[in-house]
Amino acid sequence: MQIGEDMFEGLESINTRPKPFEFYTASDLWTDDHTSKKMLSFHLNEDIDVSSRCAAFIDRSVEWIVSHFNVGAGTKIADFGCGPGLYAARLSQRRADVTGVDFSKRSIQHAQEVASSKGLSIQYVNQNYLEFESDDRFQIMLLIMCDFCALSPNQRRQMLSKFHALLEPNGSVLLDVYSLTAFEQREETAKYEADLLDGFWSPDKYYGFLNTFKYEEEKVILDKFTIVEAAHTRTVYNWLQYFTPETLEKELVECGFTVEKIYSNVAGSPYNPESPEFAVIAKKA
């Protein structure tokens, strides 16, 4: 009888809906030895849009960034959430002075190896970008692959305030976010599977639960992963905030920015309200 009661309580906990951004476990995804290895493999697969976008899109995106911002010798760029340096290396090859920040040690090590092999001078910092400080001042700050959406409201304010402090006068931020079109496409689900996501969460046998919760009022989605292994159980919370141009602009203005222009993506495609994501260039006011 006790086993049944314990199991019931466990399932109740697994299926409990937390408050928006009540728990934050991003480091579990990017700093765990096993999952960081998996994430790096996704980054480096040039044909898929997981962790990073496909190589063809990144090439097109970098070409647009270089053209739009007139990137050249000495242009100081900070790439927050740089991963294995896919943008940083390409921008450095265009003679920009690039700093990349990421708290995945494995990704940063790979980025440093690539930079060394190509003779690129890039400053890579293995750190949570919310804690990054520097005496340098940058002309362009990048936060790409909708990283902004994974931050809580307080973290987003902290991030934008940090950008404002680190930018030169009239410096620019380029970031992208998920739109309400993408939010409407998401549905609440509950899923259970042995070795959920094909062994992504552990090299050992485990049982995985995925609960997707949709917060209509806040326009937030939570993918809550509960991973049950022989020795322990852990929960990973993957939060995503979804935006309209108006709600994103409000957050930017409150932190001292003005919106220059909105696009459908960070490759400069014209804005389409039906796009699942959109990008914004914001200027330091």
| pLDDT of 238 over the 70 cut | yes
Stretch 141-156: mean pLDDT: 96
Q: Is the pLDDT of residue 3 over 60?
A: no
| Concatenated DSSP letters of 222-267 | EEEEEEEESS-EEEEEEEEEEE-HHHHHHHHHHTTEEEEEEESSTT
On the question of pLDDT at 47 being above 80, the answer is no
Half-sphere exposure of 251 (CA within 13 A, CB side): 24
Query: What pLDDT shows up at residue 1?
Result: 43
Structure tokens given for 203 = 């090299």
Q: What value does the mean pLDDT take over residues 18-27?
A: 90
pLDDT of residue 115: 97
Confidence of residue 147 (pLDDT cuts 50, 70, 90): very high
Provide the residue ranges of all domains of the chain, joining segments of one domain with +.
33-178+243-284
**Confidence at residue 42, expressed as pLDDT on a 0 to 100 scale:** 64
- The whole-model pTM stands at 0.92
* 88-109 pLDDT, tens digit each: 999 999 999 999 999 889 999 9
For residues 220-237, give the mean pLDDT: 95
pLDDT above 80 for 193: yes
The bridge status of strand 189-194 relative to strand 167-179 is: unpaired
**CATH class of the domain defined by 33-178+243-284:** alpha beta
Q: Answer whether residue 110 shows pLDDT above 70.
A: yes
- Per-residue pLDDT at 52 exceeds 80: no
* Average pLDDT value for residue range 110-119: 96
Whole-number Å distance between alpha carbons of 79 and 90: 12
SS3 content of the chain, % helix, strand, coil (to 5): 40, 30, 30
Residue 173 has a pLDDT of 98
Mean pLDDT within 159-163 = 97
Region 135-148: mean pLDDT is: 96
What percentage of the chain carries pLDDT values higher than 70? 93
In angstroms, the CA 17 to CA 237 distance is 11
